[in-house]
Chains A and B, each alone.
Chain A
Amino acid sequence: MSEPVKQEGAQALDEGIEAGISGLTTEQIASVINEVIDNETGARLKTYVDTCVHCGLCSEACHFYLSHEKDPHYSPVGKVKQTLWEMLRKKGRVGPAFIKNAAIIAHTECNLCKRCAQYCPFGIDIAYLMLVVRRIIHKLGVTPLYIQDTAHSHSVTMNQMWVKGDEWPDTLQWQEEEAQTEIPTLRIPLDKEGADIMYSVIAPEPKFQAQLIYQMAVIMDVAGVNWTMPATLGWDNSDMAMYTGDNEIMGRLKRTHYETAQRLRVKRIVMGECGHAFRSVYDMGNRWLGWKMPPIPMVHAIDFYHELLSQGRIKIKQKYPEPVTLHDPCNVVRGGGLGEKLREVAHAMCETVVEMHPNREHNYCCSAGGGVINCGPPFKMTRVNGNRVKAEQLFAAKTRGAKTLITPCHNCHSGLHDIVEHFGIGLEIKFISDILYEIIEKPEAT
């Protein structure tokens, strides 16, 4: 049976992938694939492969598939066929060109958003299968350059952005000083043992978006929270190693994060508005280490803001006047059930909330998650063109009046920014804290 040709532009060149496959032989590839399949997978992989009846019902779950005019190459099961099935069928004996294609598919055409798990009648976890492919790609040394570099940063600095040991506390002290011009007694308490809450962030915040730390410091101060931020490693909760299949580094990152919180003897960890980090601390990294659930409760920012608002610890001075729409980040809504709380926070903050459809756990992914945006510029258009359905959804929300798009996740933020820009949608994108900071009652400046 002849196969349709995949719709795509010129295939991106990635130095990590190209250099990675350059020295590979079929024997080496087979040895790595079989080693991973035999030693690192078990009942799930076997059962999923045996159970799948090739019905294609997962297809319409995938924004890549929907955005590519239902090109079956982009359906979830289509991606498994082009990668794992073939590896299994040939007992690992596939060539470097196949591996290159598999790396591109698994790393840049799947956001591991798990929407397809909600559409498969058998609940087959295709995101897991794609992670197995990424693990193989990692073991073969063919991971795309940008995300591999990020994984290297994690391995050296325990953060995502090569932020050095001194730069971190220095940045916090700088933000503390900045915020003291607004609230003179405000503190960002560093390494305060016995605080109630450790606040952890992802490295792009100190690197590029220090105002987010500023805003959170103001919110914490206004709410009178007994909080701290670590001055040592362990402050960063992000994890691209989870997405490159470098599970050992993933484990190391999460251990450092949780042990830092334990060293500070906090009751809970509150994390910033990030999706993938939530997945890493809540669902992935902790399991690799042997923790069934987070050993210290992890509270996502949505949950935390919800708590502060519902307990009246922060008060809204005046609701945000512009109509907003909400993007549900997969990792905290499909992955953490925070959809309703997100809405309650949005309604508490804003005059008008315009819903996108589908929403909540049935949302479309931003197409940046799962490490796809972290594969960098070579694959920017892969994810932007791969998410035309999101653009349509955003446009529909705009038509119904939305002016601002709220998304409590860094990757969603950046990914949606590219989509809004490319498709000329014209929505302003904000984090919850951007709005909260503007509208909460603060002590009058002296």
Chain B
Amino acid sequence: MHDVYSFVTGPLAWAAFLLFIGGSLFKLGWMLHLVAKKERFIFTYMSWRYSFRSILHWIMPFATTNWKLHPVLTIVTFAFHLCLLATPLFLLSHIILWDEAWNIRWWAFPDALADVMTVVVILSCLFFLIRRVQQPEVRFVTSTSDFIILAIVAMPFITGFIAYHQWFNYKVSFILHILSGEVMLAAIPFTRLSHMILSPFTRAYMGSEFGGVRHAKDW
């Protein structure tokens, strides 16, 4: 078991971070390369002002027409994304790992808060799952990969939650937690989770077109 632990926290962690960072950089680079090569005109329409005008509207809950149209989803999705990003970053036990490995540390959430946030992520995933199955317009465009992606996102939180509360076999759930976290990191650039990297750009482009050319709101 110790070997497995060493493997997932050693080489595999490196691999996961390399894939995540390298893959993300590659993904961005490839997109910009494609724009430069085939759709250069896009650069000429990009506007900082309208890019941020659009992004800011869309990262604020209820600031757009569509967020207002779906209040429950809006609350869930904002809570989900906030907790999804913040929990792993400000979890005390994660920060300790950073400290041990690199001698860097930062402020941490109280464990109880992190615990609640984990539950929020898990319940949100459940909400998304139900929405995917229940809502015809979502079900219609759902493929197996959508469930896999949802599982990839949910797993680190489910396993982390189990490990933290030391249900079942702690060691197994701990290793599974690390493993699933690594799977998620590595999957980001290579699945539709890449919307994490790409969506600011698509949003910025649409914002620039609507603001600078079409003189209309895109929210």
Direct contact of A and B (CB under 8 A): yes
Contact yes or no, B35 A50, CB < 8 A = no
Collect the chain B residues with CB atoms within 8 Å of residue A72's CB.
136-137, 139-141
Among A47, A70, A334, the most chain B Cβ lie within 10 Å of the Cβ of A47
Find out whether the CB atom of B215 lies under 8 angstroms from the CB atom of A43. Answer: no
Q: Does B169 contact A (CB under 8 A)?
A: no
Cβ of A418 under 8 Å from chain B? no
Query: CB-CB < 8 A to A55: which residues of B?
Result: 138
Tell me, rounded to whole Å, the shortest Cβ–Cβ distance linking A278 to chain B.
11
Chain A residues with Cβ under 8 A from B195's Cβ? 50-53, 122
Cross-chain contact B216 with A333 (CB below 8 angstroms): yes
Contact call B141/A362, Cβ cutoff below 8 A: no
B102 part of interface (Cβ distance < 8 Å): no
Nearest-CB distance from A409 to chain B (Å)? 16
Task: Provide the residues of chain B in CB contact with A132, threshold 8 Å.
Answer: none
Of A22-30, A73-81, A399-407, which binds chain B?
A: A73-81
Chain A positions within 8 Å of B37 at CB level: 42
Give B86-100 interface residues, CB cut-off 8 Å to A: none
What is the CB-to-nearest-CB distance from A8 to chain B, in angstroms, rounded to a whole number? 15
Does B119 count as interface, using CB distance less than 8 angstroms?
Answer: no
Contact for B66 among A42, A77, A121, CB less than 8 A:
A121
Complexed CA–CA distance, A361 and B215 (Å): 10
Return the contact of B137 from the options A3, A51, A78, A125 (Cβ within 8 A).
A78
Rounded to whole angstroms, the CA-CA distance of A52 and B202 in the bound complex is 10
A333 contact set on B, CB distance < 8 A: 216
- Answer whether residue A376 sits at the interface, using C-beta atoms and an 8 A cutoff: no
* Cα of A323 to Cα of B192 in the assembled complex, Å: 50
Chain B residues positioned under 8 Å from A57 (CB to CB): 66, 70, 73
* Nearest neighbor of B142 in chain A, beta-carbon distance: A54
For B210, list chain A residues within 8 Å (CB): 117-118
B interface residues, how many (CB within 8 angstroms): 48
Binary contact readout A23-52 vs B (1 if CB under 8 angstroms, 0 otherwise) = 000000000000000000111101110111
Least CB separation from B201: chain A residue: A47
Contacts of A361 in B (CB 8 A): 216-217
User: How many chain A residues touch B (Cβ–Cβ < 8 Å)?
Assistant: 53
Chain B residues with CB under 8 A of A335: 214, 216
Judging by beta carbons under 8 Å apart, are A334 and B192 in contact?
no
With A and B bound together, what is the CA distance between A283 and B38 in angstroms?
18
Are A73's CB and B140's CB within 8 A?
yes
Evaluate contact between A334 and B216: CB separation under 8 angstroms.
yes
Assuming A57-B70, A122-B199, is B38 touching A42 (CB within 8 A)?
yes
Contacts of A117 on B, CB cut-off 8 Å? 206, 210, 218
Task: Specify the chain A residue showing the minimal Cβ separation from B189.
Answer: A50
Tell me the bound Cα distance from A124 to B209 in angstroms: 12
Q: Is A43 in contact with B65, judged by CB distance below 8 angstroms?
A: no
B42 within 8 A of A: yes
A437 at interface, CB cutoff 8 A: no
Contact B199 A121 (CB under 8 A): yes
| A42 neighbours in B (Cβ, 8 Å) | 34-35, 37-39
> A123 near B: Cβ within 8 Å?
yes
Closest to A78 in B: B140
Smallest CB separation, A238 vs chain B (Å) = 20
| Assembly CA distance A339 to B136 (angstroms) | 34
The answer to whether A319 has its CB under 8 Å from any CB of chain B is no
Cα separation A117 to B213 with both chains bound (whole Å): 15
Q: Is the interface of B mostly helix, strand, loop or mixed?
A: helix
B139:A119 contact, CB within 8 angstroms = no
For A72, give the chain B residue with the smallest CB separation.
Answer: B140
> A214 at interface (Cβ–Cβ under 8 A)?
no
Chain A 3-31, CB within 8 Å of chain B: the 1/0 string? Answer: 11000000000000000000000000000
Does any Cβ of B come within 8 Å of A295's Cβ? no
Instruction: Look across to chain B and name the residue whose beta carbon is closest to the beta carbon of A81.
Output: B141
Does residue B135 face the partner (Cβ distance < 8 Å to A)? yes
Q: Considering residues B69, B73, B216, which has the most beta carbons from chain A within 10 angstroms of its beta carbon?
A: B216
Cβ of B44 within 8 Å of any chain A Cβ, yes or no, is yes
Indicate if the CB atoms of A123 and B206 lie closer than 8 Å. Answer: yes
The answer to whether A337 has its CB under 8 Å from any CB of chain B is: yes
Given contacts A44-B39, A123-B54, A124-B202, contact A56 B192 (CB under 8 A): no
Say whether B65 contacts A119, CB under 8 Å.
yes
Q: Which of B142, B146, B218 contacts A123 (CB 8 A)?
A: B218
- How close is B108's CB to chain A, nearest CB, in angstroms? 30
What are 29 A-B residue pairs whose CB atoms fall within 8 Å in the complex? Answer: A3-B140, A41-B38, A44-B39, A51-B202, A53-B192, A54-B141, A56-B137, A56-B138, A56-B141, A57-B66, A57-B73, A59-B137, A77-B137, A77-B141, A118-B65, A118-B210, A118-B218, A121-B58, A123-B203, A123-B205, A123-B207, A287-B41, A292-B41, A292-B44, A334-B216, A335-B214, A336-B215, A337-B214, A339-B216
Given A47-B202, A334-B216, A336-B214, 10 more pairs with CB closer than 8 A:
A43-B31, A43-B34, A44-B42, A48-B202, A50-B192, A60-B69, A70-B137, A72-B141, A123-B203, A337-B216
Instruction: Please give the residue numbers on chain B whose beta carbons come within 8 Å of chain A beta carbons, in ascending order.
Output: 31-32, 34-35, 37-39, 41-42, 44-45, 54, 58, 64-66, 69-70, 73, 135-143, 146, 192, 194-195, 198-199, 201-203, 205-207, 210, 213-219
